[in-house]
Amino acid sequence: MKQVRKRLTYANVMSSIAVFLVLGGATAVAAGQLGKNSVGSKQIKKNAVTAAKIKKNAVSGAKIKNGAVNGAKVKDGSLTGSDINLGTLGTVPSANTANTANTAKKTDQVINIFFRGNEGSGPQTILNVAGLTLTETCESSNEIDATTSVAHSVVDVVTAQDNDYDADIDFNPGETFDIDMGHGQGPTEMYTAQYTTPSGTNVVIIWHDVDANEGPVFPGTPEQSDCLVSGLAYVS
């Protein structure tokens, strides 16, 4: 120890410290000037990279693994309609109900029937819907004929006054159905008829007609000298 103390002079100590500082500084500089691509995932401590250390907008969609972001990783309420491809969404049950209601509103319709003609004016079309055509002929005997353009349709009619009934359960193009059954009895008659196609379209018709020269429609009114047909057709 005495030999060491003799050699441990002020100059020796200072020179040793200087060497230590130089070597330590070089190591720090080397650590601060790492080579390109020299630090990999193995050199990064777990959880060492935080959000604060990531440059804004540095992470793009190409850097995110497919399926890595799921619903649990998306903030509630952060996605809006503009962020979602609406074409990928199915139809929810309530929307199907709404679509059905809208279809019904567009398909169902009520058609007003009103025709007044002079005797001898010849056949006149008073209704044309869903393949059904009603033709009025104003002669000495008022007559309404039905024809169809839809094969295997069904048509039936009943009168309110005398409760007569007639039907054609296989009504086809080229056939004629006497839908007012020869007009029944009296100057005016009320009818109800239904026409149905194989596709399920229904036409319900309620109407009354007055024959030419059949006398007054109501007691105390002038004699009817022409043909009158009025009513409604409901299509569904």
Q: How confident is the model at residue 218 (pLDDT cuts 50, 70, 90)?
A: very low
Mean pLDDT (whole number) for 93-113: 67
The average confidence (pLDDT) of the chain is 75
Q: pLDDT at position 67, please? A: 72
pLDDT for residue 197 is more than 80: yes
Q: pLDDT at position 185, please? A: 44
Per the model's pLDDT, the better-predicted residue between 76 and 171 turns out to be: 171
Q: pLDDT at position 173, please? A: 97
Q: Which residues pair with 233 in a beta bridge?
A: 111, 205
In sign, the C-alpha dihedral spanning 179, 151, 205, 194 is positive
Quote the percentage of the chain above a pLDDT of 90: 27
56-81 pLDDT per residue, tens? 777 776 777 777 777 777 777 777 77
